[in-house]
């Protein structure tokens, strides 16, 4: 298995952290931009894309701030995280995505995130 590298991408989002947060951790919010279907049972999220299921464990939740998941079939040190950043002076809101991928897959993974977050922004009407 090739070594995975951590990467972070930041997106400016015109939304309040409270509204944005619902799209990061609630099944009905996540299904609007992240996956076709999302179910939760005991901190275990089941994401479905095109009939394929992937399970992720919820590792960390900070209200209106951060959601961190780990794919159950991945090594424990790898996770993906969606963090809401708000500039104290301008109140501008950004979404920072932290994820891990093999070096040769990072650009592809970033492209996937770009597409997903584009959906999110259009759903938010931001």
Q: How far is CA 69 from CA 14, 88, 124, in A?
A: 24, 27, 22
Distance CA 85, CA 95 (A): 6
Q: What per-residue confidence (pLDDT) applies to 7?
A: 98
Q: What is the pTM of this model?
A: 0.93
Structure-token pair, residue 72: 């159950």
Residues of the chain below pLDDT 50: none
Q: Are 5 and 100 in contact (CB under 8 A)?
A: yes
- Taking only the tens place, the pLDDT of each residue in 50-83 is 999 999 999 999 999 999 999 999 998 999 999 9
- H-assigned helices in 11-58: 17-25, 27-30
Q: What per-residue confidence (pLDDT) applies to 2?
A: 61
Structure-token pair, residue 101: 């991928």
| Domains of the chain as residue ranges with CATH | 4-124 (3.30.530.20)
Q: What per-residue confidence (pLDDT) applies to 1?
A: 55
């Amino acid at each position: 298995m090739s070594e995975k590298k951590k990467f972070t991408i930041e997106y400016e989002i015109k939304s309040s952290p409270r509204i944005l947060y619902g799209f990061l951790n609630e099944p009905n919010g996540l299904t609007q931009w992240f996956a076709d279907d999302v179910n939760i049972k005991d901190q275990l999220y089941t994401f479905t894309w095109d009939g394929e299921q992937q399970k992720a464990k919820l590792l960390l939740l900070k209200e209106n701030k951060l959601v961190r998941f780990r794919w159950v079939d991945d090594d424990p040190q790898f996770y993906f995280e969606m963090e809401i950043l708000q500039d104290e002076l301008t109140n501008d809101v950004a979404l920072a995505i932290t994820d891990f991928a093999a070096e040769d897959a990072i650009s592809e993974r970033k492209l996937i995130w770009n597409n997903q977050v584009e959906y999110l922004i259009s759903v938010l009407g931001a």
